[in-house]
Structure 1
């Protein structure tokens, strides 16, 4: 794939994507987690790249949301969906869903969403999802007890690049290997020429090291699993709670993870623990054994009947007098017992094996001396042998566990990705359940209804207003209102062609436009909509103009007219929603301007809803029969309007002042209010 052909992808990003093993698959699936594993890519940037790749695949120009207000509605939709996610990944992944005119993209997301709404948002699953996140690569690994060795300069350079975790040393012969083996627990020779060389220490000849990095540096695998352990465990919990088929044996996975500490070291092996404790305790154990021997010998001397008093003997000894001959002659057995006690304490306190105890017993000499002292050189040898044993054991266990976990790496990646994708599905499911959603039906002008973004040839396609194209919403409720969703009044509304929407102040005209925009945005994202039933054509663009705040100055007014000039020159199957355009200038001029815009939209067979208080004036100024719908107030109760929120077709709604005058006329018999009422 030519990555730079994706909108927004330059040379540097293309290079980062090329380092992924499955970049093309990730781009095709919108897999934000996989894309974010490319060097330097955040999940947010990965989501933008995935969105660009999707648009390119579906030949989508990305111009569906044509105005600021339309884009605001889309952002509101995303916010509602994001509020129902658990993971940060799902929040970013939802950004790959967007409204489009592409039938293939709508159908693609529709298939995903239809499966998603069947998911049960079980609280146990949501709780488990709380610990899931995208897997992160391990970094900053440094192994100091192992090195690579080679006599070849090119092989040296390649090894430095392939194994940054290890030291790479240049050696000329077996003597060089032997010297390295005294400094490192393990030496990996990269040259075939070293095969069969007999040197002391753990030296391994591996010309194929570059092909088996996990065997040479098992810490890579261990660090990755240690760093991501809790995320992996949470993903396993999600699979069990949701009843998903896991791509690996979860019990085996958990057992392998239990053998790994947070820092990537091996835990749970008794022999390794024994050696580790021995290395940590050897100095203290020797010091204690020395004290035990001297205490034993002191007690023996005090109790011994010799030629001089014991206390005088001690005084002489402590002043540095030679006592080997005296000890040999008078206290040979007692000295032997003291040394034996020291050796026994050392062996037992360090839990040494017989082969290790041989060096330990020689730390304390058989030659009589007082105070009893240990041999520093032999102690160093004991310490070195214990360390070497510990390191060899640790490396072997690391290799074994790394081999086990390495085989699980791809299944674990799949398992975590599946858990994260489940969160995306559950967000859609929760949205559909929270807002009583249904899937819309797309109807082409003059074509039959389809459930996806396209159309089929044929007659009709039942429309709420009896015409092809446009939209029809039954029992739609907007979750964007400042009232609880359950308290929102359901709205029925259907429009085909160009229509004026009239009604009282605070009657719900703007809310109706918001509902229509919301339904269309969701439908053309491929998602369910908050209504009992929706039919609509697949619009090419959504133009939504919010109410202007006050009369515009000359420059802003001119700019607004230029916007509408471009609007009426566009494609025919657009949806145009405009809220009280008359506020841009004087009412008389506004009516004429709006009438002219409606005429142009009617000529191109667009679907448009203009909210206006000037419906009568606009209709008079228009050169065609403009449809007028009305949100009717049915009366006043306790000073509040009682409104039928569903617009009435072909009905010019009465204004709020008319309703108030009518109320006053019924309460007052003077005739004054009756005369005012006749003016309406």
Structure 2
């Protein structure tokens, strides 16, 4: 894939993405977390790149949301979904969902949604998901006890790129290889020409080593699995709780993780533990063994009276003998016993097996007091134990790395499936929390690929909502009154103050956006014509000055003239009359609605001037109304569902009507003014 062919990806971004292990896969799957690991790519930028890759794949121009308010509704919808994720990664993945006019994209997401809403967001699954996160790739693995060697410059560059964890050295002859063997514990020679050469040390001639990096640097897969132990264990728990079909044996993966500690070292091997403990405890064990011998001798000396004849003392002095000779002569047996006790203590404490002979030479046979270890022998013992430990660890590392390397792709798939499940469960929870249903949308096939009954007869234009409730209101969702409303063509929506006109527009907008995202909508049923462009204009705060008024008119002029005959357009406008004087506003809105109707657009204009607009319009414009059915304790009683073809009465008219019921002639005459 040409990375720069993705919308929004320039040369610098392409260079950053190329540093990922598999940027094509990340782009194809919309893996926002993986894309965000590229240098200099934030999570928000990664989401935009992922959306660009999806749009490219579907030939989607990405111009569905045409106004700021339309984009706000989309952000509100995404926020509701993200609030129902457990992991940050699933929240980031939801950013790849966007409203589209492209049938293939809508169908793709509807297929995902159809499966998602069948998911059961069991608390056990959600609890397990809390520990899942994208797998990290440790970047600080560095191995200093081995190196690669080659005489070929091209091979040198290849090795530096393939196995950056170890040093790569250039050699010209056997002598230089031998020098490396004295500096490194292991030298892996990549050139066949050195095969059969006898060099002291651990020198291996392996021309195919670059094809088996896990054998040269087993620390690489070990570090990867060590760094990701907890997310992998959590992903295993998710698969078990959700009864997902895993890409690998869960018991096999768990067993492999149990043999690895948090630092990437093999664990659970008794022999390695014995050798490691012996190396770590050697100095302390030697010191304690010295104490054992000296305590034994001290007790022996304290318990015996040693008598030396004068001639014997003179003889010892003449020979320059000291206490050692005295010990040899008088306490030879006790000294032997003391040394034997020291040796046995050292061997038993360190659980020595193959190095007992060296350990026995750590204390001198010739009597001396105080007893001290022989440093050269202890150093030799330390070297033997360390070598045995490292060889054992290296063998276990290679074996474990070989097993784990084969599991890496499955481990990544395991975590990816868990994160994908979190995304699905967010959709399922959204659908359950807001009593959602999958809407019929234009000519888009059902999730199973068929033209299902629910889509049969779905309008190619317009919106129809049955039992719709908006989750965007500042009241608990259970208290939201359901509404029914449908519109095809252009319509004016009238109604009393606080009767729900704006919330009706918001509900229409939310249903349209979610439907074109391929997601369920908060309604008992909904049918949406497939829309190419969605324009939503929020209520203007206060009358505009001349300059702002002109700008707004130009914006609507561009909208009207830009509506193409072959592009379905939905326009929602909330109280445009507030931009200028009422009389002028009615004329302006009538002209806009006439032009939109001529171009076949679907539009709903909320206005308190619906009657005036209808009267000045050159064509018949539908007027719907949200009716107030009365007053109770000073509060309006409203039927929130708009009534088709009904100009709703205003709040003042309702109040005057209530006052006129008392038979007061003034209020009756005042009421007649409303009826004229």
TM-score of the superposed pair, with normalisation by structure 1: 0.92
Aligned ranges for residues 533-552 of structure 1 at < 5 Å?
A: 533-552=525-544
The answer to whether the 8 A contact 1:634-1:642 is kept is yes
Residues 100 and 236 of structure 1: is their aligned pair in 2 closer, same or farther, counting only changes over 3 Å? same
Aligned ranges for residues 341-490 of structure 1 at < 5 Å?
A: 341-353=341-353, 355-443=354-442, 451=446, 469-490=461-482
Which of 532, 546, 555 does residue 554 from structure 1 map onto? 546
| Distance in 2 separating the partners of 1:105 and 1:571 | 22
Output one character per residue of 1:214-271: Cα deviation in whole Å (capped at 9) or x when no partner.
Answer: 1111111111111111001111111000010111111111111011111111221111
The answer to whether the 8 A contact 1:454-1:538 is kept is no
Cα offset, 1:286, TM superposition? 1.0
Partner of 2:514: 522
Partner of 1:225: 225
| DSSP-derived class of the 1:391 partner | helix
Partner of 1:571: 564
Output one character per residue of 1:386-438: Cα deviation in whole Å (capped at 9) or x when no partner.
Answer: 11111111111111111111110001111111111111111111111111111
Partner of 1:67: 67
Residues 287 and 452 of structure 1: is their aligned pair in 2 closer, same or farther, counting only changes over 3 Å? closer
Kindly tell me the number of residue pairs found equivalent between the two proteins.
663
Partner of 2:126: 126
| Distance in 1 separating the partners of 2:286 and 2:236 | 47
Moved more, 572-581 or 74-83: 572-581
Output one character per residue of 1:80-107: Cα deviation in whole Å (capped at 9) or x when no partner.
Answer: 0001111111111111111111111111
Residues 166 and 57 of structure 1: is their aligned pair in 2 closer, same or farther, counting only changes over 3 Å? closer
Cα offset, 1:201, TM superposition? 3.9
The answer to whether the 8 A contact 1:441-1:452 is kept is no
- 2:668 counterpart of 1:674: yes
Unaligned runs of 5+ in 1: none
Cα offset, 1:49, TM superposition? 1.5
Partner of 2:163: 163
Partner of 1:639: 634
Output one character per residue of 1:499-556: Cα deviation in whole Å (capped at 9) or x when no partner.
Answer: 1111100000001000100000011111111111111211111111000000001111
The answer to whether the 8 A contact 1:185-1:392 is kept is no
| Distance in 2 separating the partners of 1:155 and 1:226 | 31
Cα offset, 1:335, TM superposition? 1.7
Cα offset, 1:206, TM superposition? 2.2
| Distance in 2 separating the partners of 1:610 and 1:405 | 63
Cα offset, 1:161, TM superposition? 4.1
Moved more, 378-387 or 546-555: 378-387
Residues 202 and 359 of structure 1: is their aligned pair in 2 closer, same or farther, counting only changes over 3 Å? farther
Residues 277 and 214 of structure 1: is their aligned pair in 2 closer, same or farther, counting only changes over 3 Å? same
Aligned ranges for residues 260-409 of structure 1 at < 5 Å?
A: 260-308=260-308, 322-353=322-353, 355-409=354-408
- 2:241 counterpart of 1:249: no
| Distance in 1 separating the partners of 2:336 and 2:183 | 36
The answer to whether the 8 A contact 1:103-1:453 is kept is no
Cα offset, 1:23, TM superposition? 3.9
Output one character per residue of 1:154-206: Cα deviation in whole Å (capped at 9) or x when no partner.
Answer: 55554444433224455666665556555544333334344334444433332
| Distance in 2 separating the partners of 1:116 and 1:154 | 51
The answer to whether the 8 A contact 2:111-2:448 is kept is no
TM-score of the superposed pair, with normalisation by structure 2: 0.93
The answer to whether the 8 A contact 1:33-1:417 is kept is no
Cα offset, 1:357, TM superposition? 1.1
The answer to whether the 8 A contact 1:43-1:89 is kept is no
| Distance in 2 separating the partners of 1:461 and 1:651 | 29
| Distance in 1 separating the partners of 2:450 and 2:65 | 22
Unaligned runs of 5+ in 2: none
| Distance in 2 separating the partners of 1:75 and 1:215 | 49
Cα offset, 1:329, TM superposition? 2.5
Cα offset, 1:44, TM superposition? 3.4
| DSSP-derived class of the 1:381 partner | helix
Output one character per residue of 1:12-32: Cα deviation in whole Å (capped at 9) or x when no partner.
Answer: 332344455654444333233
| Distance in 2 separating the partners of 1:652 and 1:200 | 100
The answer to whether the 8 A contact 2:461-2:531 is kept is no
| DSSP-derived class of the 1:414 partner | helix
| DSSP-derived class of the 1:204 partner | strand
- 2:584 counterpart of 1:589: yes
The answer to whether the 8 A contact 2:8-2:52 is kept is yes
